[in-house]
Structure 1
Amino acid sequence: MHSYLTAGLPGTGGTIKESPEDFLVEELPLYPPCGEGEHTYALIEKRGITTLEAIRRLARALKVPEREVGYAGMKDSRGVTRQTVSLPRVAPEELRALELSGVVVLSAVRHRNKLRLGHLAGNRFRIRIRGVVPEALPRAEAVLAVLARRGVPNRFGEQRYGVQGNSHLIGRAMLAGDWRTAVDLLIGDPARVEGEGWRGAIEAYRRGAIEESLHLFPGHCRTEREVLQRLVKRPGDFERAFQAVHPRLRKLYLSACQSHLFDRVVTERLDSLDTVMAGDLACKHENGACFLVEDAAVEAPRAARFEISPTGPLFGCRMTQAGGEEGERERALLAAAGLTPASFDLPGGLRMEGERRPLRVPIGGARAEVDAGGLLLEFSLPKGSYATAVLREIMKSE
């Protein structure tokens, strides 16, 4: 099964993120700040650090508790990001005067309420791909034309699966209550890591030499070390050992499992990504509301106008499943993973309710040009969608 929407078109090859300036992300706000109120909305530019680290530095400098700083979206550390954060009881001029490492305040305006997660329209990207083939520009433009017409496959992609590419498998083992497998996967595969000590630590674990493994694990592998410390004290108690993993990380593994299953549905539906079928739960792009498609022919024109799109499952214990053939496909996918909707009803704040996610999203203002540095792309995507889904279709470097 081909895994590109534009499988018939050749890619540009190349590499991204050679320098932070090669990857610029700009948040598109849902609304502008109104100019009055007890919060100040600061447009910041950060480079080489995560959103949480930028917030930490701002909070420390302004003596504001971190949890009181609002933000609309999480951005990773690679590249340059422009995004808005809100701070209570801080004057705009105080923010504008700040000088911080890795964070520049571009503007500061008052507003009445704290900025909430998800309060953004989307993101605009400016990405340079270096080392592309000579005919990169016409190739990129041909792919972008298809994506503009049919939509961008709304994949999460590889960045969701962690350094060793197995976060989703850890999540699946957690959902199945298979704690030994969860620990084995967490400790990892010696072939997937760098450094002799780290590889040796994993090999020792696989031999059952837990204390030797703990001794060899590098200091930065804090989670692995804490899990092994519990195993040294209570050999064989894998469930208790896994409890040493931070709840935020456990939640991440579970959502990686959801993401992986969703990506599989996207791949299976590539040929009909822009078509709704009877039984589909379709999403209205203007407000995100979902409805059951009863008559595919009646809804076809709306899908053609990009008003609606079919959705796929982010599985959970309360998610509505599709009907018809699509529903059968979803149930079969979940069963093949050894899971049921009830598997997601976990205790201890880890319950995953599930939701629907559109299988495709519109791409806005897409353009490409070639300069001395390579191929320069500009486009925007709705919130929650990833630039890597576009780059994958254009570069085809897998």
Structure 2
Amino acid sequence: MSELESILGMEFFATKSKGIGGCLRKRWEDFVVEEITPQKEIIQALGPGISTNGLKDAQITKGEGDYTVFTLERHAMYNTFEALDRIARSLGVGIKRFSYAGVKDKRAITTQRVSAWRVDPERLKNLNIKGLYLRDFNRSEEPVKLGDLWGNHFSITVREINLAESEIEEQVKQTCREIEDSGGVPNFFGYQRFGVQRPLSHLVGIKLLKSEFKDAAMLFLAKAYPLEGDDAQAARNYLRETEDFAGAFEKFPKRLNYERVMLKHLSKYSNDVLGAFRRLPRGLLVMFIHAVQSYLFNKTLSLRYKQGFPLDSAVPGDIVSPVENVSPNDYILVTDETVSEINEEIRSGKLGVSIPLIGYDSNLPENKPGELVEKILKEEELTPSMFRLQSLPEISSRGMFRLIMLNISDLKIHDIDADEYSTDSMKLTISFSLPKGSYATVVLREFMKTDPIKY
């Protein structure tokens, strides 16, 4: 695996196949993410040919309630936060009026359900923002809430594969067989959780948990990475060397909106680091803490594999959860007396082994599985109680569980053909559905086995 994957705790593959290599996201329309509702309906994307003007005649479904629920289709221009910020600014309302079920990729075509509190659907319908397309408006008494989805359907094209068609076909078939035999792939949190250009969300989160707020701010603002633009690197290096917040504000590119929001505050109140963080959307702040939980999960899962613990069955001390609707309170601690019965339930697909996403109210595994969690926490100098942040209580996390294996639905290979955008290369088109909180790149890494920086 790559250096980035090792840094983020993704330290093994489930399959032994060679891997086809290739690149993702060479064109943004090669990566399509369609949200699947709790009723398992796919919100289909209209695709590159869509136009804002073409949606003006869309009907608004009548209903009652303070919330307007609508479909947001995005075409590579913005991430979820940026898109909603752009919509809110265009309407002259606060971004806190908007809520969503899940965060989607940026460099992709994506669909998702969004709700807006006390925003007239006609105003939303008449927006004209490049790369954002709004439709399917209706009023509701309830907002769209985080987690209010079954999952996502992915249609992805892998390009620049330097193998013959027959070799690609054989490698892909072998990988599919191995995934089926092992019951899925490791349910790692993908690199998007942490950032590819700047994989530091978990590092900022760890600093916040340790109440090292100045260090957290300087990491987020001043840590430069080579994949960023030269202007961004220069601005971050200037801030790191000078701690001149006002001067840095003038140097930071306007596209780095969140950094500029913090710098503007720190330019006036240089010692109020907490106030600067509170200028960020709560969803972004929460993601720093979620990134820490994700990092600890990845590290624990990799340690479990390296120490020879099974991934498809439980041992005494493990925690198991229902495969459907995993919740903080719905878990079973495996004992010597129950392990045989529980493993039968795992084989039937009803239960799965879980690892806690550490929070202040976490129930930890016991015996040997518990020692794995404790080892990782000790290495990072963290404790569950730290996830109750006294200074930022709004981003405290209770904790929950996550299945260690990811089941893939509707896996289909659609096309192996010449890559029309790359001489002497091939492309592979693949589609599948994943439950919420899971990452398509975690599936694709099993097929590609290449450096994710190339994605």
TM-score of the aligned structures, taking structure 1 as reference length = 0.83
Aligned ranges 1:248-263 → 2 under 5 Å: 248=282, 249-263=284-298
Give the structure 1 partner of residue 51 of structure 2.
Answer: none
Q: Does residue 1:38 correspond to 2:79, yes or no?
A: no
Distance 1:344 1:258 in 2: 10
Partners of 1:201 and 1:217 within 8 A in 2: yes
Q: Does residue 1:328 correspond to 2:371, yes or no?
A: yes
1:281 CA drift (Å): 1.0
Match of 2:219 among 152, 161, 185: 185
Partners of 1:275 and 1:303 within 8 A in 2: yes
Partners of 2:184 and 2:407 within 8 A in 1: yes
Distance 1:22 1:110 in 2: 33
1:139 CA drift (Å): 1.5
Q: Does residue 1:382 correspond to 2:427, yes or no?
A: no
Partners of 2:222 and 2:237 within 8 A in 1: no
Which digits, 9 at most, give the CA deviation of each residue in 1:288-342, with x for residues without a partner? 2311112322212222232211111211111111111111111121111111112
Q: Please tell me the residue identity of whatever aligns with 1:325.
A: K
CA distance 1:11–1:342, shift in 2 (3 Å):
same
SS at match of 1:123: strand
Give the structure 2 partner of residue 14 of structure 1.
Answer: 22
Give the structure 1 partner of residue 208 of structure 2.
Answer: 174
Q: Does residue 1:137 correspond to 2:179, yes or no?
A: no
When structure 1 is superposed on structure 2, of 150-159 and 176-185 the one drifting more is: 176-185
Percent of residue pairs identical: 31
Q: Please tell me the residue identity of whatever aligns with 1:252.
A: M
Q: Please tell me the residue identity of whatever aligns with 1:142.
A: Q
Equivalent pairs, count? 394
Q: Where in structure 1 are there 5+ consecutive unaligned residues? A: none
Give the structure 1 partner of residue 311 of structure 2.
Answer: 273
SS at match of 1:120: coil
Q: Please tell me the residue identity of whatever aligns with 1:352.
A: S
Partners of 1:37 and 1:113 within 8 A in 2: no
Aligned ranges 1:172-321 → 2 under 5 Å: 172-190=206-224, 192=226, 194-196=228-230, 198-205=232-239, 207=241, 210=244, 214=248, 217-220=251-254, 221=256, 240-241=272-273, 243-245=275-277, 246-247=279-280, 248=282, 249-270=284-305, 272-288=310-326, 289-294=330-335, 295-321=338-364
Partners of 1:201 and 1:212 within 8 A in 2: no
SS at match of 2:291: helix
Q: Please tell me the residue identity of whatever aligns with 1:355.
A: M
Q: Please tell me the residue identity of whatever aligns with 2:185.
A: V
When structure 1 is superposed on structure 2, of 310-319 and 73-82 the one drifting more is: 73-82
1:242 CA drift (Å): 5.5
1:108 CA drift (Å): 5.3
1:379 CA drift (Å): 0.5
Q: Please tell me the residue identity of whatever aligns with 1:279.
A: G
1:382 CA drift (Å): 0.4
Distance 2:385 2:35 in 1: 36
SS at match of 2:377: helix
1:116 CA drift (Å): 2.7
Aligned ranges 1:332-371 → 2 under 5 Å: 332-347=375-390, 348=392, 349-368=394-413, 369-371=415-417
CA distance 1:341–1:209, shift in 2 (3 Å):
closer
Aligned ranges 1:26-65 → 2 under 5 Å: 26-31=34-39, 37-38=63-64, 42-48=70-76, 49-55=78-84
CA distance 1:110–1:139, shift in 2 (3 Å):
farther
Q: Where in structure 2 are there 5+ consecutive unaligned residues? A: 1-5, 44-60, 420-426
Aligned ranges 1:118-129 → 2 under 5 Å: 118-129=147-158
1:89 CA drift (Å): 8.4
Q: Does residue 1:155 correspond to 2:188, yes or no?
A: yes
Distance 1:323 1:151 in 2: 25
Distance 2:291 2:160 in 1: 31
Distance 1:353 1:115 in 2: 21
TM-score of the aligned structures, taking structure 2 as reference length = 0.74
1:16 CA drift (Å): 1.0
Distance 1:376 1:21 in 2: 12
SS at match of 1:275: coil
Give the structure 2 partner of residue 146 of structure 1.
Answer: 178
